[in-house]
Structure 1
């Protein structure tokens, strides 16, 4: 997951170089005598990684615009906390200062997407970012009545 502008810029540059590398690999495989089907099989992993990076870039661009995915599982809360921090333009350093913890702690928490964090910790992070949430509980169509 891209977590800051520097990583975003690096990813944009990597997308460009990936396309060049994929094209050069296609040429190289063709020169080796591989047919079109063999070439496609050989470059498929490169294309897969490229597409994954494109999705990460797209996700970062959406959160920078304030477009957040709904949270369907409590385990998704961490990713939303990181997205919101990015959206409001707060650095990990600033969040660490507001929480009175080290930047390394914030980095670890975000790397793990706050997995296993207590509700108290989640609430402190939300408060530090002046974040407001509403939880809506819905009854599944297959249950009840």
Structure 2
């Protein structure tokens, strides 16, 4: 997951490099005498990594615009907290200062997408970013009384 502007710019550069590299590899494989099906099989892993990075870039661009996915599972809260921090143009360092913890701690929490964080920690992070939560719990269809 891209978590800051520097990583975003690097990812954009990497996407351009990947495109050029994939095109060169296609040409190289063609010159080796491989047919289209063999070329597609050979470059499939490159395309897969390229598409994954492209999705990460698109996600970062969406959250910078304020377009967030709904939180459907508690395990999604961490990713959403990171997304909101990015949207608010708050650095990990700024968040750390507000939480009165080290930047290393915030970095570690975000790297793990707050997995295993206590509710108190989640609430502290939300408070530091001026957020509040509204929880809506529903019974899944077919599971109710």
Q: TM-score range by the shorter chain?
A: over 0.9
Aligned to 1:44: 44
After superposing the two structures, state which structure 1 stretch, 104-113 or 26-35, moved more: 26-35
Tell me, in whole angstroms, the C-alpha distance in 2 between the residues paired with 1:113 and 1:119: 14
Tell me, in whole angstroms, the C-alpha distance in 2 between the residues paired with 1:70 and 1:13: 30
Aligned to 1:125: 125
Q: Runs of 4+ in structure 1 displaced over 6 angstroms?
A: none
Tell me, in whole angstroms, the C-alpha distance in 2 between the residues paired with 1:46 and 1:68: 29
Aligned-residue RMSD, C-alpha: 0.7
Tell me, in whole angstroms, the C-alpha distance in 1 between the residues paired with 2:133 and 2:63: 16
Aligned to 1:12: 12
Tell me, in whole angstroms, the C-alpha distance in 2 between the residues paired with 1:143 and 1:16: 48
Deviation at 1:143, TM superposition (A): 1.9
Q: CA deviation digits over 1:61-88, x for unaligned, max 9?
A: 1100111111111011000000000000
Tell me, in whole angstroms, the C-alpha distance in 2 between the residues paired with 1:144 and 1:46: 46
**Aligned runs of 1:1-145 on 2, under 5 Å?**
1-145=1-145
TM-score by length of 1: 0.98
In the alignment of these two chains, the number of paired residues is 145
Q: Please, which runs of 5 or more residues in structure 2 have no aligned partner?
A: none
Q: Please, which runs of 5 or more residues in structure 1 have no aligned partner?
A: none
Q: Secondary structure at the match of 1:27?
A: helix
Q: Secondary structure at the match of 2:85?
A: helix
